[in-house]
Amino acid sequence: MTIYFYSTTDKYGCFSNFSRHAFGLDNNYWKTSEHYFQAQKFAGTAYEETIRRAETPKKAASLGRSRRFPLRSDWEDVKDEVMRRAVLQKFQTHADIRETLLSTGDEEIVEASPYDYYWGAGQDDSGKNMLGIILMEIREILRTEQDNC
C-alpha cells in the first residue's frame, strides 16, 4: 500500500512541511519545516530572518518563492540536504509524529501534490517525489536510532 499525503488535515498531514511542528535548528526556532526550508534559500541574509518570522507556513513559502532577492548560489546543490536536515529535526523533536512515521512500516510515502514535480508526485504521478523519498530515508534513520536505544 502506498501512503499519500498533502494537506495538513489528512491522516498523514504531519508529513507536510506546513504541519505546525516547531523545532530548533542552526541556533534558531522554526515554526515549521517550511519556514526553515524557504529561509535557507537566503541563508546569512536579513531576508532569512524575515522568512523565519513569517506568520504562517504559507506566508513563508510565498516569501521564499519570491525572486525579489537572489537565491544563494549553491541552492540547487544543497536543497535536498536542507530538506533532509529540517525533516529529521522535526521528527526527532516530536515523539507523536515520529511514531506516526515509524508506523508506516516499509510502505512507500508519496507527497500527492498536483503542482510539484520535484518534491511531490505532480498531477500525473510522474514527479520525483523527493519529499516522500526523504521521509522514507528519515524513517530508516529513526528506526535505527530506536533500535540502538
Tens of pLDDT, residue by residue over 80-94, are 999 999 999 999 999
User: Is the pTM here over 0.75, yes or no?
Assistant: yes
Q: Which residue has the cell 504562517?
A: 56
Do strands 2-5 and 23-25 pair parallel, antiparallel, or not at all (unpaired)? Answer: unpaired
- CA torsion 40-87-112-41 (nearest 10°) is 0
- Nearest-Å Rg of the Cα atoms of the chain is 15
Q: What is the pLDDT of residues 66-119, one digit of tens each?
A: 999 999 999 999 999 999 999 999 999 999 999 999 999 999 999 999 999 999
